[in-house]
Amino acid sequence: MRTTLAALLHDIGKFYQRTGISLEKQYYRYTKNNGYYHAGYTAKFIEEYIKLAFDQPFNLINESASHHIDSEGIVKISDIISSGHDRKDASRKDYFSEDTEKQAETNGNYKIKRMNSIFDEIKTEEHQVNNQSFIELNTYDKYKISNKLETTNVAKSEEEYDILFKEFSNRVLNCSLNTKTYIELHHKIYPIIKEYTTTIPANTISDFTTVSLFDHLKLTAAIASCIRQETKEKPFILFDYDVSGIQSFIYQITEGDKSKEKISKSLRTRSFYVNILADFIAYYIINAFDISYENVLYSSSGRGRLLLPNTNKFIEKITTICHKIEEELYNLHKGKLSVIFSYSVVDGNELAKSNLSDLVSMDKKENINNKKQKFIHIIDKTNFDFVEKTHGKLCNMCNIHFSDDVFCSFCNDMIQLNDLIIAKFNQFIVEFNFDMNQKFKEYSLKIGNLGHIIFHTTSTIDKINDNSYYLSINGNNLGETKYYAKSVNANISFTDIANIKKNNLGDDKIAVIKMDVDNLGYIFMQGLKKKNKSKNETDKETISKLLTLSRTLDYFFTKKLVDICGENVYINYAGGDDLVIVCPCWQSLELVSKINESFKRFINDNLSFHISAGIDLFDSVTPIRYAITRAEENLASSKECRGKNCFTVMECTIKNDKLLLILNEIDKYEKAILSKKISRSGIFDIYNAIFESLNDKQTIIRYMKYIPHISYSIERNILDYDFKEELKKTFIHLQINEETLKMYKVVLAYALMNTRKESDNNE
C-alpha cells in the first residue's frame, strides 16, 4: 500500500508550491536541474504533515518525491503513463523541456492558472464554439463553474491557495496521527485529497486544462497499483461491469392494503441499494486483486469501469470471481438483477496515448458473459432448480419471495434501511466487508456469500478493517466519497404530495418525472475526439477527462438537484445522468424547466448537452409502477423526436425551448379563470376541440371544423375585449399548426387542473 500512497501523493507538492511558501534547500535533492520544484514541495509536505508511527518517513518521501530523478521507479513510470492524457508526448523521458518547466515556475503563471470546465472541451459539431469558463478554487463540496476570468494577481492567487492548503494540511495531519498502518492511512487520506484537489489544475503549462490534480494523482496511483504486481507484457485490464434489470427490480412492488404506506420507503431504498450493490461488486473485484479506491475509475448508475493488473492467471481468476458474483446475486434476487462483465487488455503506451473509446471498443473487448445468456453457467449445474421451493405466502411487497410474515426478509431489510439510515441521516459511512466470519454491531446487509454492507452513522469509525473498503455518503471522512440525492423531506409520502395544493386549489394529482441527458453515449465517445478540435496532439479522449465528465455530471444530479427540487419533491433516484422524481402535478412543468435552466448554467450553455423528460400525471391511488412505466414511455417519445431536447406529457411531445412560454400561458389562463374573465367550461370547450383534433390523423382538418364553435363560444362568453381578441388570435386562424395545438392542450389542461375547486369535482 505504500507504493499506492506514494503515487497518490507524488504531485501534492504542486498544491503546496502554489501557496508561495518558500522551499528549504534540504528538499532540492528531489528537484532536477533547478526545475521541477514541486517534487521538493512533495517531500516537504510529507515530512511536515504526515506523521508515521509505524515507518520511517524517509521511505514514503523517497518513493513519492523522487519521480523526476528516479529513472526506473514505479511512481516515475506510472506518472509518465498517466500524464499522457494532457501532455505533449508520453513516450518522452520528460513531459516538457526543462526550459519550459523553469519558465513556468518563474513567471507565476502556474499559480494563477485555473482549471477550465470539462464542458468547455466537449464538442459534437465541427464548428461548435463553446463559452469559456473556469472552476473556482475551493473544496469539492463547493464545486462551482464560473465565467469570471482568472486573476492575474499572483499574490491574490497565492492567498487563495494558502487558505485552501491550510485547511487541507490540518486535516491530513490530524488523520495521520495515531494511524497504525499504511492501509489505514490510505483509507483516511484518500477522501481528503479528493475533497481539496478536485478543483486544482494538474497541468498549468497548457493553455487549456480540464484535468484536475486529483484525477492525475488517482490515475497515477491506479497504474502504480497494477505495475507493482507481477503482470504480463500488456500489464493493464480495463474492466467493465453493468448491472442489468435495475428498472424492473426497483419498481417490482405490489401496492395493496398491507404495503401501500411502505411504498415510498421501499422505492427510495431499492434505488439506493442498487447503487451501493454496484459499488460492492466493484470493491469485491478490487479486493481480490489487492488494489484500492483509485482503481475504480468510475462507478455510477449501476455500471462502472475498473483498472486491474493483468496478472499471469487473470482470465481464470476473473472468470471465477464473476461467476461467483453472478451466482450469489441469482440466489439473492432470483434473476431480477444480473451483471454483465467484459474487459480489454492494454499496455502503457496505449493507455497514455490512445483514445479511451478505441481501447474499449467492441472489437477489442472480451466478454465473460452476455445479456442474451445470463446465468448460463448456473443453469448448466446439475443441482439447479428452476422453481423455488415454497414456504409461507408470497411477499405482499415484491410478490417474488416467499415468507411466513407479511413481507419477505429482503423487503423488510429495505424498509429497515430506510427507517434506520436513509430517513434519519444525511451523512453516513458505508463499509464493504468481505470477511464472512466477522460479526457487526451496526446495521448491515448480507450479500449472499460475498460479504456484508455495513452502515455507520457516526463520522468516525473506531476500528478500520484491513479487508474492508469504505464509502462516505454526503461527506468525506473515510474512503471513497459520493453524494446521494435525498429528498429534503425524507418522510414525505405520495399521499402527502397529492395534498400539496397551489393556492389551496387543484386536483389531487401527482406527477412522475423521468429525465436524462440526451446522446450521452455519443458525447462520451465523440465529444473529446481530436477530429472535433484543433490538431494539437493533446486533444484526445482519455480516462481522466471521461472520469471528470462523468463525476461532474453526477455532481449535478446528486448534489445540485436536491436544492433545485425543494421540500415538496420525492426524489426516487438521481445520479449519473438521469433522475426519477415525484411531485405535485401543478409543479411538474415548473420543475422540469428549473432543472433544465439550472443544467444549462451548470454546463455553461454548451450546445452538445440537453435533457429530455417524460411526465406522467396520476392519482395517488394509482400504482406507482404503472405511472413510472408511462413516464418511461413518454421519455422514449421525447428521445424519438428529431434533435431530442423535448418533454412529453399528455401524449404531447414539445421542445424544451417552449417551456417558459407554456408556463407563462398556464399562469395567464389560471388568472383568467380565477378572475372570471373566462369560465372553466369556456376553457374546456377549447381544450376538448384540441383534444379531439389531436386524436384524429388529420389533425388540422379536424380542428378547422371546430373553429366556428370556438368562435361562437368566445363571442358569447368573453366580456373582456382585449382577452377576447387575444383568444381569437390564438385559436381562430387558418395558419394554426399541430405543434401549437399540442402546446395549448398542455396549457389548458394544466390551467383547468390547477384551478379546480372541491365543488368542481363532478366535471
pLDDT value at residue 380: 67
Predicted confidence at residue 556, as pLDDT, reads 94
Label residue 387 by pLDDT band (50, 70, 90).
low
* pLDDT of 551 above 50: yes
pLDDT band at 381 (very low <50, low <70, confident <90, very high): low
- Residue with grid cell 472480451, as numbered in its chain: 366
Q: Which of 193-197, 225-229, 353-357, 577-581 has the highest mean pLDDT?
A: 193-197
Question: Which sign, positive or negative, has the C-alpha torsion 230, 232, 238, 239?
Answer: negative
Query: Residue 132 CB: number of other CB atoms within 10 A?
Result: 12
Q: What is the pTM of this model?
A: 0.90
Confidence of residue 243 (pLDDT cuts 50, 70, 90): very high
Dihedral, CA of residue 423, residue 571, residue 556 and residue 641, to nearest 10: 170
pLDDT at 73 over 90: no
Q: Which helix (H) or strand (E) holds 129?
A: none
Residue predicted with more confidence, 555 or 350: 555
For residue 751, report the phi and psi dihedrals to the nearest 5 degrees: -60, -40
Residue whose C-alpha is closest to residue 575's, from 676, 498, 496, 474: 474
Radius of gyration in angstroms for the set of CA atoms belonging to the chain, rounded to a whole number: 29
Residues 705-740: tens digit of each pLDDT: 999 999 998 988 888 899 999 999 999 999 999 999
Query: Hey, what long-range contacts does 105-109 have (CB within 8 A, 24 or more apart)?
Result: 105/35, 105/37, 108/154, 109/204
User: How far is 63 from 51, CA to CA, in rounded Å?
Assistant: 16
- What are the pLDDT digits (tens) for 79-94? 988 887 555 433 344 4
More confident residue, 473 or 440: 473
- One-letter amino acid for residue 256 of the chain: G
So where are the chain's domains? 2-114+150-223, 229-407, 494-649, 662-760
For residue range 155-196, list pLDDT tens digits in order: 999 999 999 999 999 999 999 988 999 999 999 999 999 999
Mean pLDDT of 542-560: 89
Query: Is residue 463 within 8 Å of 471, Cβ to Cβ?
Result: no
**For residues 287 and 434, is the Cβ–Cβ distance under 8 A?**
yes
Cell numbers found for residue 238 = 480495463
Question: Out of 18-27, 445-454, 546-555, which region has the weakest mean confidence (pLDDT)?
Answer: 546-555
Beta strands at 646-649 and 652-655: parallel, antiparallel or unpaired: antiparallel
Assigned C-alpha cell, 352: 497514455
Quick one: pLDDT band at residue 534, thresholds 50, 70, 90?
very low
What gap in Å lies between CA 220 and CA 83, rounded to an integer? 8
In this predicted structure, the answer to whether residue 126 has a pLDDT above a threshold of 80 is no
Half-sphere exposure of 638 (CA within 13 A, CB side): 29
| Angle between helical axes of 659-674 and 588-602 (0-180°, round to 10) | 150
Higher-confidence residue: 538 or 152?
A: 152
Which position has the grid cell 454546463?
Answer: 603
Instruction: For residue 391, name the pLDDT band (cuts at 50, 70, 90).
Output: low
Mean pLDDT of 662-674: 96
Q: What is the pLDDT of residue 158?
A: 93
535 has a pLDDT exceeding 50: no
Report how far residue 629's alpha carbon sits from residue 29's, in angstroms, rounded to the nearest whole number. Answer: 64
- Three-class SS state of 117: coil
Where does the pLDDT of residue 107 fall: very low under 50, low under 70, confident under 90, or very high at 90 and above?
low
pLDDT category of residue 106 using cuts at 50, 70 and 90:
low
Name the β-bridge partners of 453: 432, 445
Q: In what order do the strands lie in the sheet with 451-456?
A: 444-447, 451-456, 428-433, 468-473, 480-482
Q: List pLDDT tens digits, range 623-634.
A: 888 899 999 999
DSSP classification of residue 21: -
Distance CA 564, CA 570 (A): 12
Average pLDDT in the 535-556 region?
77
Of 29-33, 203-207, 342-346, 492-496, where does the model show the most confidence? 342-346
Q: How would you classify the pairing of strands 570-575 and 611-619?
A: unpaired
677 vs 101, which has greater pLDDT? Answer: 677
Looking at residue 92, the DSSP 8-state letter turns out to be S
Top-level class of domain 494-649: alpha beta
Rounded average pLDDT over 234-259? 83
DSSP 599-667: HHHHTTT-TT--EEEEEEEEETTS-HHHHHHHHHHHHHHHHHSTT--EEEETTEEEEGGGHHHHHHHHH
pLDDT of 29 above 70: yes
